[in-house]
Amino acid sequence: MGMWFVRRRSCVNLTMNPNKVYGDLINSASGAKTHYEVWWAQASRARPEYVGVMNRHSDFFRASYHAHYTSFFVCLAHLFDRRTDSSSIPTFFTAVRPTIAPTTLQALEARFEVLAKRARPLVEVRHKTVAHIDAKLTEKDVFAPLSITWNEIREIIYDTCRFVEELNPTQMTPDVGQIGIPRDERLIEATMKLIRELADTQKR
């Protein structure tokens, strides 16, 4: 006798939840700042003083350097994604549109467009060197026509994080276990502390 299997349909709520989207924004912003700062500490702040200790542990620092560099571009790009099915700042605006004053939303959208214009070079770098690897252009070639400095990149990341923190008109509680966006330079300090302690250990 044959057996009949009944497949139960799972009920998935496809309604866009502003709390969930906002939680994703917090996590993406926190990731962009965190990964950038850990990378920058290794790429700039630790040099030249701690090059020796980093070279002695080159496998770890090489992996860490590339992982954090890639990750900050990915996390930042999430925030500016224009796809309607992805958690991003534009998606958040869509989710809260029915519950926020039109003038307030218009002001936020106008500020976002200014920020998005500043971030456009970073999204392009992410597209050509992280999400995809351009077959003809080196990383240096990709950066060259953008005329953007690392100081400007840092300020774009920090300003984007501040903007995300402001996008909480109803003091909503995100539906994820996030711990918030760290203060500026917190992860630079933490990374430098780790490298200094590693160097001090090797001196003993």
User: What is the span of the domain harbouring residue 197?
Assistant: 18-203
Say if 92 falls within a structural domain: yes
- Domain membership of residue 4 (yes or no) is no
Q: Residue 1 domain-assigned?
A: no
Q: Is residue 167 part of a domain?
A: yes
Give pLDDT, residue 1: 46
Residue 116 lies in a domain: yes
pLDDT of amino acid 170 = 54
Q: What percent of the chain has pLDDT over 70?
A: 87
Q: Please indicate, yes or no, if residue 65 is contained in any of the structural domains.
A: yes
Q: What is the pLDDT of residue 175?
A: 53
User: What Rg, from alpha-carbon coordinates, does the chain have?
Assistant: 21
In a domain, 8, yes or no: no
Residue 10: inside a domain:
no
Question: What is the value of pTM for the model shown?
Answer: 0.86
Counting the structural domains of the chain, the total is 1
**Predicted confidence (pLDDT) per residue in 73-115, tens digit:** 999 999 999 999 999 999 999 999 998 889 999 999 999 999 9
